Amino acid sequence: MRRALPVFYDCHNCPAYCCTYPRIEVTARDLERLARHFGVDVATAKKRFTKKGAEPGEVILRHQKDEVYGSACRFLDLETRMCGVHEARPVICRVHSGTSTCGYYVFLMAERSFQNDPEFVARAHNPQG
């Protein structure tokens, strides 16, 4: 039996930095799961929720405007900063970060401690604004 790695981060303490990655890849299985979640067919889910990625054949999730980072996954609940389709989320989100730690979380917690500000958010660099 495979044992899960211990996790040394808490997504509830993060403003969803990983949801702002510009390329959140979606597989055919992910599209099936999203389609079932929304009660639509796969073609409709693909058209509504995804776009072509930079790589040939790559399919990625669409984004929405986000006050914290400028742009974020279209399924991020901007109020709670949690995934709005958690049960149907893509596999890339299910396996993130792939290790027992998250580099951004470690950095964020260190900055919050250093700044003596438990609400501090390290914003992504936005060259357009």
Band the pLDDT of 123: cuts 50, 70, 90. low
pTM: 0.79
Instruction: Determine the Cα–Cα distance for residues 3 and 79; give it in Å rounded to an integer.
Output: 34
Task: Find out whether 102 and 9 touch, Cβ atoms under 8 Å.
Answer: yes
Q: Tens digit of pLDDT for each residue in 75-102?
A: 999 999 999 999 999 999 998 877 777 7
Torsion of CA 68, 73, 74, 77, to 10 degrees: -60
Cβ of 49: how many Cβ atoms within 10 Å? Answer: 23
Task: Find out whether 54 and 3 touch, Cβ atoms under 8 Å.
Answer: no
More confident site: 46 or 7: 46
Band the pLDDT of 126: cuts 50, 70, 90. very low
Task: Find out whether 108 and 14 touch, Cβ atoms under 8 Å.
Answer: yes
Tell me the two tokens of residue 65. Answer: 């405007």
**Residue range 36-54: mean pLDDT, rounded:** 97
List the domain boundaries for the chain: 11-115
Q: Any alpha helices (H) in 1-88, and if so which ranges?
A: 28-38, 42-49
Residue whose C-alpha is closest to residue 59's, from 40, 38, 72, 45:
45
